[in-house]
Amino acid sequence: MARWQPNAPQRLVAAALELFEERGYERTTVIDIAERAGLTKSTFFRHFQDKREVLFGGDTMAGLLVRAIAAAPADATPFEAVALALDAAGREAFTAERREFVARRRAVIDSNPELREREALKGLGLTASMTDALGRRGVADLTACLAAELGALAMKIAYERWTGAAGGDDFSVVARRTLDDLRAAGAG
């Protein structure tokens, strides 16, 4: 693949995932990833801070969730705004076309403690982003925190359910069902 071809970040992500599956995360270097993608090490570092970040997409998901919460109708409850954010995640990030890739990514992350830690930190960042977005809508701090925490938990559980199932429902359906289950469990 020529170095001038477009989509360098996507090529690097695909190459990294392949190598992590083949060799393991620990035995894969940035140079290996860049070479597999047909790029240079400097191109890798133009797009990613380190080899961990190639699997985590920067702030893409946080931005998606924040935009969806901000775009929710003015009369939406905090939980409805969070549900709309989960819908957006299903439409834009967790699509049927990406299910296999997302499941492979999850398997790589699950197999490495350093990556599991990074995934947990990303989850905390998503929760904080949703809390802030709800606060900007005028939601009281405690309510914003509760809705964001519940939304993040629903997203995590839905992600596990969705990637673990072959075919099946769209992520949005799984996430909404999970959010409803959590709200019912909390009320009981």
Of 160, 162, 161, 152, give the one whose Cα is nearest residue 182: 152
Q: What is the pLDDT of residue 150?
A: 94
pTM over 0.75: yes
What are the structural domains, with CATH classification, of the chain? 8-54 (1.10.10.60), 57-187 (1.10.357.10)
pLDDT tens, residue by residue, 64-106: 999 999 999 999 999 999 999 999 999 998 888 888 888 899 9
Q: What is the mean pLDDT of residues 2-24?
A: 86
pLDDT tens, residue by residue, 126-149: 999 999 999 999 999 999 999 999
Calpha distance 115→77 (Å, rounded): 34
Confidence of residue 151 (pLDDT cuts 50, 70, 90): very high
Q: What is the pLDDT of residue 77?
A: 96
**Which of 56-60, 64-68, 117-121, 181-185 is least confident?**
56-60
Calpha distance 154→182 (Å, rounded): 7
Confidence of residue 154 (pLDDT cuts 50, 70, 90): very high
- Residue 54 pLDDT > 60: yes
Calpha distance 95→113 (Å, rounded): 27
- Residue 187 pLDDT > 90: no
Percent of the chain with pLDDT over 90: 75
Q: What is the pLDDT of residue 56?
A: 87
Confidence of residue 5 (pLDDT cuts 50, 70, 90): low
Contact between 108 and 25 under an 8 Å Cβ cutoff? The reply is yes
| Per-residue burial over 65-85, b = 16 or more CB atoms within 10 Å of its CB, e = otherwise | bbebbeebeeeeebbebbbbb
